[in-house]
Structure 1
Amino acid sequence: MNSLKHNNPQIIYKNPWTSIFYLVLLFLAWNLISQLIGSGLAVLVSGVNIFESQEILQPPFGPESKLFMYVAQGVSHFLGFTLFGLFFIKKMDKQEFKDYFHSKKLSLNSALIIVLMTFSFMMFNSIIIEWNMNIEFPEFMKAFEEWARATEDQLMELTELLSNYDSFGEMLIALLIIGVLPAIGEELVFRGLLQNKLESATKNAHLAIWISAIIFGAFHMQFYGVVPRIMLGALFGYIYVFSRNIWYPIIAHFVNNGLAVILMYVGPRFIDDFDAQEVDSSVPVYISLSALFACLIFFRYFKQQMNKAAQE
């Protein structure tokens, strides 16, 4: 059986392009409202004046900046992705959650392979991250380069703020906001909904995977990190296509985000000269290429397991 051509829950649509149009339109509107709600709750919880909410997100950061970001990001992401994805599946597509969440078919052995595969891919992706971070543009694109660098620097400062944990409990909160919520919500939207609909519309799973991955990378609005995110999105997409079980890309997504959170907590406590900005690019090239080879082996084994499970 060819795993690329079976059990797509979106295959029932006679005109999937119409469904994609409604998905994108409603997603944008829903996310705008979710961000407003998240920011409103963050203002209430942090006690910051609503007119000062943008100022506290500029350096130098204070304790109220971190609290504001945790609440705003956590609430807006849960509402804008997880709740939206579940709503669209149930109310707009009128489908059952079991078409995406096959919990009874979730294998511990396969989940472990996903963990190892993702970790291997992360080590390989380090050379892509380093290359993307050092892209230089021609002179006529100087204005774009300056804007992209300024945006990247600001986002890096906010990321560093959220990655500086004062306690184990705060690390667990960050693990929820940075690891769990994006893993569930983004996979529901980008793989469960968008990728499935694109596959149904184009009749080409590979095209659907890469279009979804490109949108996934661009959505994060970090040009100097867009290519590694596209690569990750493609990995999650292939994991989903060969399993048709959204839990597997969710696990992979969580491993990628969660390991970063844990490393940011453990690193400064056990490594004297720990530099968070050097983590992604600290893997030697030969190790990165070896990790890619290992990733391909794990992926091949995972495909075999999924094909075997589909025939049972």
Structure 2
Amino acid sequence: MEIYKTQSQIAAKQNWLLSLVVLILITFGVLALTQGIAIAIIPLLFDIPYEEILPLFSGDITHPNGRMAMMFLQGLGGGLAFLLAGWLFSHLVEKASLGWKQQLARVQFTSILITIPLLLGFVMFDTLIIEWNANIQFPEALRTFEEMVKSMEESAMKLTIYLTDFQSFGEFIAGLLVIGVFAGIGEEYFFRGVMQPKMRAYTGSHHAGIWITAFIFSAIHFQFYGFVPRMLLGALFGYLYWFSGSLVYPMLAHILNNSLTVLMVYLNKLGLVEFDIESPDQVNWLVVATGSLLFIICLRLFIQHNQKQQTHGQVAESI
């Protein structure tokens, strides 16, 4: 069960629209502010002229410090921005408590160990959904929309390739921190910690709260051809929180998922494994079947190990 305790009037169910509007405004404001700060500091930290900063966003920069500068921009204006936006909204607007003492008390070493193969099994199964989503064909009537989303996808992939084309071990570590740790903590705090319990309270259903939040989580990445697998991943994070009552588990799973991709890209760069982030391998049905079985078994074990914690705490308390 989620923990989100508040008695603020704006958090009341009848004020759901106002609450969401305020949350959106704060989030976009924080994202703009943190990215602005990052852009202002980049020339000082990385010796990059202001006129060369704009190409950072498209991955066209050739400056030797460009990748580290973009990592800095992504870290401050991405994961950490979501963390700050969620904190400002929950603490200053709704005066809510996520009950961290209670959440940390619910963490069990056994469940942490189960989370690792659980996430791995999901990733193996998700290769099937990734291939299906990547090969969706639109009817002729939606050709304009298809061209638009493909253009967005190509731009996002170009930036991803630029960010993960690590030229040193230091850049690899920076990638793990920014793409793995900062994004995992910040996005989970915002989406699962703040938004999910609010969606549950508004809809009266924890399933609806989890899936609506997962939909929004995937949508903000603006990548249609990865939308469904990312939504499923978001739903997994949501259920990990619901079953355990601790944000530690979805944060850990998110960090593991992102860090695994970063690690595979780096190992491919070193020639130790074959991994193409642009063109995933064709679906291996043995991998999908094994991953599905591993995921189901581990999810069942995870739920069983956390059932005794379910009676502790309150779920999304509000007036």
Q: Same fold (TM over 0.5)?
A: yes
RMSD: 2.3
- Equivalent residue pairs, number: 306
Q: 1:59 to 1:248 in 2, by over 3 A?
A: closer
Matches within 5 A, 1:233-272: 233-271=234-272
Q: Which amino acid aligns with 2:268?
A: G
In 2, distance between residues paired with 1:172 and 1:140?
45
In 2, distance between residues paired with 1:100 and 1:25?
29
CA contact (8 A) 2:115 2:249 kept: yes
Deviation of the 1:162 alpha carbon: 1.3
Deviation of the 1:129 alpha carbon: 1.0
Deviation of the 1:9 alpha carbon: 1.8
Q: 1:187 to 1:59 in 2, by over 3 A?
A: closer
The residue aligned with 2:121 is 120
Deviations 1:49-104 (A, max 9, x none): 32332234446542243123111111112442112222223222223343487223
CA contact (8 A) 1:120 1:292 kept: yes
Deviation of the 1:311 alpha carbon: 5.5
The residue aligned with 1:35 is 35
Q: Which amino acid aligns with 1:297?
A: I
The residue aligned with 2:300 is 300
SS in 2 for 1:68: helix
In 2, distance between residues paired with 1:255 and 1:179?
7
In 2, distance between residues paired with 1:274 and 1:115?
21
SS in 2 for 1:165: coil
Matches within 5 A, 1:119-158: 119-158=120-159
Q: 1:87 to 1:101 in 2, by over 3 A?
A: farther
Gaps of 5+ in 2: 313-319
Match of 2:12 among 11, 14, 24: 14
CA contact (8 A) 1:56 1:64 kept: no
In 1, distance between residues paired with 2:101 and 2:151?
39
The residue aligned with 2:48 is 48
Asked whether 1:215 is paired with 2:216, we answer yes
In 2, distance between residues paired with 1:25 and 1:51?
29
In 1, distance between residues paired with 2:283 and 2:87?
38
In 1, distance between residues paired with 2:35 and 2:250?
25
In 1, distance between residues paired with 2:152 and 2:143?
14
The residue aligned with 1:284 is 284
In 1, distance between residues paired with 2:131 and 2:83?
31
The residue aligned with 2:189 is 188
In 1, distance between residues paired with 2:114 and 2:242?
16
CA contact (8 A) 1:41 1:71 kept: no
Deviation of the 1:256 alpha carbon: 0.5
In 1, distance between residues paired with 2:76 and 2:251?
19
Deviation of the 1:270 alpha carbon: 3.9
Deviations 1:124-150 (A, max 9, x none): 111111111111211122122112112
In 2, distance between residues paired with 1:228 and 1:272?
24
In 2, distance between residues paired with 1:262 and 1:291?
20
In 1, distance between residues paired with 2:273 and 2:260?
20
SS in 1 for 2:166: coil
